[in-house]
Structure 1
Amino acid sequence: MYKEKGEPAIPLRDAYQHDHKMYVATDCIIFGFDAGNLKLLLFKRRVAPFQGDWSLIGSFVKIDEDVSAAAERVLEEITGLRDVFMEELKTYGAANRDPGFRCISIGQYALIRLNDYDKELVEQHGAVWHDVKELPSLVLDHDQMVQDALKKLKQKARYQPLGFELLPEKFTIPQLQSVYEAIYQKELDSRNFRKKVFSYNVLVKLEEKDKSTSKRGAFLYKFDHNRYKRLTERGYNFEI
């Protein structure tokens, strides 16, 4: 029950609806990988408060919409992509997180391949890729969301093959190592990395070579999703 001083008691639910309005939003932390660097997709906020400041890309959740569906909608509206890796990060519900109104946001982080997304669509929304090591200051608690997402990405990449979500379908071992170095923000020993990756037997070696960096070239590989699925069903951890 809810009761103000000198007022008759009324059900808390009814009082809340009468006195308050709360919004639910979702903010997407969209990562990509390019030229050895982990990138984050940002855009300049178009509405007050903080109009013109850098922001994550998000939306209010519609009344008849699942939170996960709202995040997928945002991602598709901005990048044109569907069915990419996306996972709920955490809920951000500090009472004063948004000076405009009371708003709870559910952060979602996504990994996309930079050669797959709709570049014209991204440009139409004024979105720009930024190196995660050189990010501008973001609005509200979006800086915290990004740091939380980077931490989560590092943790999960140790046990799940998330690095493959950032690469083209065909890739070289040096490219794969470069992805993991970008995620962990540190250099990895090449020999140990190759040994570890090949030990899982989840890579399919192709006859093709990438000759963009040398005449000799480097063999291209594909990730064997079925083999990985069978390993995880047996409780196997893909630890790099």
Structure 2
Amino acid sequence: MEELKYHYKYPHPCVTTDCVIFGFDGTKLNVLLIERGIEPFKGRWAFPGGFLKMDETALQGAKRELKEETGLEDAYIHQFHAFSGVDRDPRERVITIAYFALVRISEVKAGDDAAKAQWFPLDKVPSLAFDHDLILREATNELRRQIHFEPIGFELLPEKFTMTQLQHLYEAILSVKFDRRNFCNKMLKLGILTQLDETLPMPNKKIAFLYKFNPESYNEMKEKGFRLEF
């Protein structure tokens, strides 16, 4: 990067990115946390993040952190808020640009500091460092809001899934319980699922059909206006 020609003489804040990484274990929504090895908040859990490099955008910085912790380069990632509390970081004045990412836990490859990274169910997250409790609340609220307008939940499922797996995912994200038949009918009426000629053995000698998300059908619906209500 070329040396900057002009310099701002007044004090100004540093900029970081933080990435809330969501994963689904088949039953519960989880988040990936990193145990801090240095002060401040040594020994406390926090989201992957760090200071922006001089030659990268906020999105590039968030993707770099995501890759370092999961090994994934093409995961779904979404910027949802900037946090600028004056005293949010005891070291200096820091503004963080927050993202959330949706990953398949089975595809995650631990980073070099894997011993300090751990998945936590959303309802078992400990008290976090900095203002990351607030960041988690805002990320969860944004995920719950966005899932009504975009089928981003499929980013958390295997490529092929059962209707039960899909229902459990939506229940985990929205913290509600759905009637199985009503949920199935609603999802099928949307026309964004393709039923496959494949089944999965289930308890009591039953079988469950496998489905795939149909992005072409969704894109057609999105042009007309899409909102998923339960």
The TM-score with structure 2 as length reference comes to: 0.92
Unaligned runs of 5+ in 2: 1-6
After TM superposition, where is structure 1 displaced by more than 4 Å over at least 4 residues in a row?
none
Match of 1:124 in 2: 114
Q: Which amino acid aligns with 1:182?
A: A
| Match of residue 60, structure 2, among 58, 69, 75 | 69
SS at structure 1 position matched to 2:161:
coil
Match of 1:51 in 2: 42
- The structural deviation recorded for 1:213 is 4.1
SS at structure 1 position matched to 2:218:
helix
| Contact in 1 for aligned 2:77/2:102 (Cα 8 Å) | yes
SS at structure 2 position matched to 1:70:
helix
Unaligned runs of 5+ in 1: 1-12
Query: Aligned pair in 2 of structure 1 residues 109, 223: CA closer, same or farther (>3 Å)?
Result: same
| Contact in 1 for aligned 2:196/2:209 (Cα 8 Å) | yes
Match of 1:211 in 2: 201
Q: Which amino acid aligns with 1:48?
A: E
Instruction: Give the Cα–Cα distance (whole angstroms) in 2 for the partners of residues 88 and 208 of structure 1.
Output: 36
Q: Deviations over 1:164-201 (max 9, x none)?
A: 11100000000000000000111111111111100111
Query: Aligned pair in 2 of structure 1 residues 124, 171: CA closer, same or farther (>3 Å)?
Result: same
| Contact in 2 for aligned 1:25/1:103 (Cα 8 Å) | yes
- The structural deviation recorded for 1:238 is 3.9
| Match of residue 166, structure 1, among 156, 161, 182 | 156
Q: Which amino acid aligns with 1:15?
A: K
Match of 1:89 in 2: 80
SS at structure 2 position matched to 1:99:
coil
Instruction: Give the Cα–Cα distance (whole angstroms) in 2 for the partners of residues 163 and 231 of structure 1.
Output: 17
Q: Deviations over 1:60-114 (max 9, x none)?
A: 1111101011101111111011221111010001111100111110110111111
Query: Aligned pair in 2 of structure 1 residues 202, 70: CA closer, same or farther (>3 Å)?
Result: same
Q: Which amino acid aligns with 2:60?
A: A
| Match of residue 100, structure 1, among 74, 91, 104 | 91
Q: Which amino acid aligns with 2:27?
A: G
Query: Aligned pair in 2 of structure 1 residues 194, 123: CA closer, same or farther (>3 Å)?
Result: farther
Q: Which amino acid aligns with 1:217?
A: I
Query: Aligned pair in 2 of structure 1 residues 59, 125: CA closer, same or farther (>3 Å)?
Result: farther
| Match of residue 15, structure 1, among 9, 12, 33 | 9
| Contact in 2 for aligned 1:43/1:125 (Cα 8 Å) | no
The TM-score with structure 1 as length reference comes to: 0.88
Instruction: Give the Cα–Cα distance (whole angstroms) in 2 for the partners of residues 15 and 223 of structure 1.
Output: 53
SS at structure 2 position matched to 1:90:
strand
- The structural deviation recorded for 1:214 is 4.8
Instruction: Give the Cα–Cα distance (whole angstroms) in 1 for the partners of residues 170 and 36 of structure 2.
Output: 31
| Contact in 1 for aligned 2:198/2:209 (Cα 8 Å) | yes
Instruction: Give the Cα–Cα distance (whole angstroms) in 2 for the partners of residues 24 and 14 of structure 1.
Output: 15
CA RMSD for the aligned pairs?
A: 1.6
| Contact in 2 for aligned 1:159/1:239 (Cα 8 Å) | no
Q: Deviations over 1:126-180 (max 9, x none)?
A: 2100000111000010000000111111111122112211100000000000000
Matched, 1:178 2:168: yes
| Contact in 2 for aligned 1:29/1:149 (Cα 8 Å) | yes
Structure number with bigger Rg: 1
Match of 1:194 in 2: 184
Instruction: Give the Cα–Cα distance (whole angstroms) in 1 for the partners of residues 139 and 148 of structure 2.
Output: 14
- The structural deviation recorded for 1:23 is 1.3
